[in-house]
Amino acid sequence: MKLDGTPHYTLPAIHDPSTGSYISDSFAIAVYLDATYPSAPLIFPHGTQGLQASFESAFAPEVKGLLPIIYPIIMSNLNESSVNYLKAVNSKTAGEPIPNAEVVLAKTEQDLWKVHGWYENASRSRGDKGPFLLGEVVSWADFVVCAQFLCWRTVLGPDTKEWKYMEKWNAGKWGTLVENLGKYQGVH
C-alpha cells in the first residue's frame, strides 16, 4: 500500500501455490522465501538481512550515473503511454541532453571501485577468496549487483562495445559475478 492507502503495484511478483501467498517487491520476496523455505539455500544467510538491505541502499548511488544513457534506450522500446509515465516520474532528468556515453561509463566504473573494495574487504576479513560478498555463499547483495549488470546487458545488448567494456570493469569483477550467478538466471 502507498502512504495514501491506494494499492502499490510493482514487479516482480510471485504466487506461492504451497501457501497461497502473493508477494511483490524483490526484497519482500526474498524475505518470504527465506522464512517459508529455511531448508533451501538462504538469500540472507547468517542473519544478514539488515546488513544486506544497507548494502543495497549504499550500492544504488554508485550506479545511478548511468541512467541518462540507459533511459533513452529503454524509452525507445516503449509505447507512448509508458514513455509519458516514465517522463512524469523522472521529470528531473526527462528531456535533458544525453551525456557522452564514454564519459558516463568511465565515471561509473570509477564509482564501482568503491563497491569492488567492499567485496575485497569482506574477503580479507574472512581470509578467503570466494567470488561472492560472503565468500563461497551467494547472498542478496550479489543478486542486487548482478541484476543491475544484467539490466545493462539487456538494454545495451550483449554484443555492444559498451557491454563488452562494462563486463571487464574493476578487473573483471562484475563480468565474473554475472557468470558465477548464471545458474540463477532464468525461470525454473
Q: Where are the domains of the chain?
A: 1-40, 48-184
Q: Is the pLDDT of residue 96 over 70?
A: no
Q: Is the pLDDT of residue 9 over 80?
A: no
Longest distance between any two alpha carbons in the chain, whole Å: 52
Higher per-residue confidence, 54 vs 82: 54
For the chain, give the mean pLDDT.
89
DSSP codes, 67-94: HHHHHHHHHTTS-HHHHHHHHHHTTTTT
Residue range 103-143, pLDDT digits in tens: 889 999 999 999 999 999 999 988 888 899 999 999 999 99
Tell me which fold the domain 1-40 belongs to.
Glutaredoxin (3.40.30)
Q: Is the pLDDT of residue 89 over 80?
A: no
Tell me which fold the domain 48-184 belongs to.
Glutathione S-transferase Yfyf (Class Pi); Chain A, domain 2 (1.20.1050)
At 54 the pLDDT is 96
Global pTM? Answer: 0.86
